[in-house]
Structure 1
Amino acid sequence: MKIDVSDYFQRATIEELKQGHLYDPKTEQHVCLICGQCYEEGVIYTDGEPTAFYEAKKKVKLHIQAEHESMFHYLIGLDKKRTGLSDVQKELLLRFYNGFSDSDIVKELGGSASTIRNHRFTMREKLKQAKLFIALMELVEAKNDEAPKLVAIPQHAARVDERYAVTEEEKTKILQQYFKEGLNGPIESFPKKEKRKLVILQALLNRFDREQTYTEKQINEILMSAYPDYVTLRRYLIEYGFLDRKDDGSEYWLK
């Protein structure tokens, strides 16, 4: 079973982000932070071989290795607005991770060994700053339990900007305003404001099965139950990175 891991990803600890999975005591599941694949505690899983049996925690680790290469490769591939890294920094980090020497990097990317050393120094300074910032923010949030909680940013959002600065309270009001008959009912209109669009589109994602592929006709039928202009809804779901499709439009799926 796969689930939306946007909220899990946002509240994961540094260690959980590094290992690529976390344990949710409420559902008693080990969850892959990349794709949302879940493995239930207490269940024994096989790996295609009759004599190979794994507990849930071991199985999720094997899943990440087999399906996603590593958490490092997933994180390094995230958008610049998520990581704050330039293309040059990504190229360097990838080579640092793979154990390249400074001279090897110079041969591949050009420049000089002293320039590469300066990059290493700068990144280590950023690491120190990031640790301090995390400590400060955790102290702030611990001190202000009643501060507005922002909604989780979807994992595969195409762009991350101020449109996602929506609190849980705002989200609830928007959903109540547009879904008069409940979240499974229709909306009376599709808003022009970006924040409202995003909230509505995210709510519509719950009408799809994360593990299923759809034809365009099926997509249209599902969206038509929400709003007559299903073409607009479909276009925004693709544009915002929530829905993906083959180039010929023959298959659609949730990203």
Structure 2
Amino acid sequence: MLDEEKFWNASVEELSDGYVFDESTEEYICLICGQKYEDGVLYPQIDREIFLEARKAINQHMKNNHPSMFNYLLGMDKKYTGLSEHQRELLHLFGQGLSDKEIVEINGGSASTIRNHRFKLKEKEKQAKVFLAIMTLLKTEKDTNHDFVPFHKGAKMVDDRYAVTKDEKEKILNTYFKQGPNGPLDSFPSKEKRKLVILQHIIKRFEVGKKYTESEVNEVLKTIFYDFATIRRYFIEYGFMERSKDCSEYWINQ
């Protein structure tokens, strides 16, 4: 599962590689599926009779399971990339190494228009570098109390409801989980921001990659709150979970 916090805290180079190194646990962690490789451990390769150390093992993992970070990042929602559908399509074609003339043959238009798009995207890249530098420097200045909680990948209509700092999240959880964060929910909030924090916390009770029946989802939620049907509905509505058309299977939105 995509680890939102690790993903958004990763450097540009780490996003390009698709993994990060967690110094606290001494593990290489895949940003897409969460697979971990502990430094100092040798990992057998199924397709070959060899063992690889952790860094080489995660690079092999990326090649086998996530061969193109370019396509993965490009395929992310506009709220993450800021790219229009047309820009995304052009970048996909640029990534194939096609010439302006070849792209015109596929998409129509003119070679000069394609060149203009290439130029604008290069300018966007320059602006992004400067903006990243500004935001990096801002962290060393006086903006230290606004460490925002990353929103989940399936988030819909991202707006100020998602502008929650880690301190705010802690206060909300303490207010609604009076017996501790792993205990039952005392009441379900009506305010959208608080509702999202609660849902983001509860979804952690489910396993990534596992398919659940509706009754299994209900059994987990019953231990948390009496109105389990409302929470289940909000999981779907806010994009925390997905379900099959016949509602026979539920799973975490990755």
TM-score (norm 1): 0.93
* Unaligned residue ranges in structure 2 (runs of 5+): none
* Unaligned residue ranges in structure 1 (runs of 5+): none
- The residue aligned with 2:213 is 215
Shift, 1:144, TM fit? 2.3
8 Å contact kept, 2:156–2:238: yes
- The residue aligned with 1:139 is 137
CA distance in 2, matches of 1:155, 1:38: 20
User: C-alpha deviations, 1:170-189, integer Å up to 9, x for none?
Assistant: 11111111111112222222
Shift, 1:97, TM fit? 0.9
- The residue aligned with 2:202 is 204
8 Å contact kept, 2:2–2:31: no
Query: SS in structure 2 opposite 1:30?
Result: strand
- The residue aligned with 2:105 is 107
Deviates more, 1:234-243 or 1:73-82: 234-243
Shift, 1:218, TM fit? 1.1
Shift, 1:227, TM fit? 1.4
8 Å contact kept, 1:244–1:254: yes
Query: SS in structure 2 opposite 1:143?
Result: coil
8 Å contact kept, 1:8–1:33: yes
Query: SS in structure 2 opposite 1:104?
Result: helix
8 Å contact kept, 1:245–1:253: yes
CA distance in 1, matches of 2:96, 2:196: 38
Q: How does 1:60-79 map to 2 (within 5 A)?
A: 60-79=58-77
8 Å contact kept, 1:102–1:113: yes
Deviates more, 1:64-73 or 1:75-84: 64-73
- The residue aligned with 1:82 is 80
Shift, 1:19, TM fit? 0.7
- The residue aligned with 2:47 is 49
User: C-alpha deviations, 1:11-66, integer Å up to 9, x for none?
Assistant: 10010011110100111111111121212212222231351322222222222222
8 Å contact kept, 1:44–1:55: yes
8 Å contact kept, 2:3–2:31: yes
CA distance in 2, matches of 1:113, 1:50: 46
What is the identity percentage for the equivalent residue pairs of Structure 1 and Structure 2? 51
CA distance in 1, matches of 2:250, 2:66: 21
Does 1:28 find its partner at 2:32?
A: no
- The residue aligned with 1:162 is 160
Deviates more, 1:51-60 or 1:26-35: 51-60
Change in 2 beyond 3 A, CA 1:157/1:44: farther
8 Å contact kept, 1:6–1:152: yes
Query: SS in structure 1 opposite 2:140?
Result: helix
User: C-alpha deviations, 1:82-119, integer Å up to 9, x for none?
Assistant: 11100000000011111011111111111110000000
Shift, 1:208, TM fit? 1.5
8 Å contact kept, 1:32–1:60: yes
Shift, 1:247, TM fit? 2.6
Shift, 1:154, TM fit? 2.3
Q: Which runs of 4+ in 1 moved over 4 A?
A: none
Question: Considering only aligned residues, what root-mean-square deviation do their CA atoms show, in Å?
Answer: 1.7
Change in 2 beyond 3 A, CA 1:35/1:240: farther
Deviates more, 1:171-180 or 1:83-92: 171-180
TM-score (norm 2): 0.93
CA distance in 2, matches of 1:213, 1:16: 30
8 Å contact kept, 2:28–2:58: yes
Across the two proteins, how many residue pairs are aligned to each other? 253
Shift, 1:158, TM fit? 4.1
Shift, 1:9, TM fit? 0.7
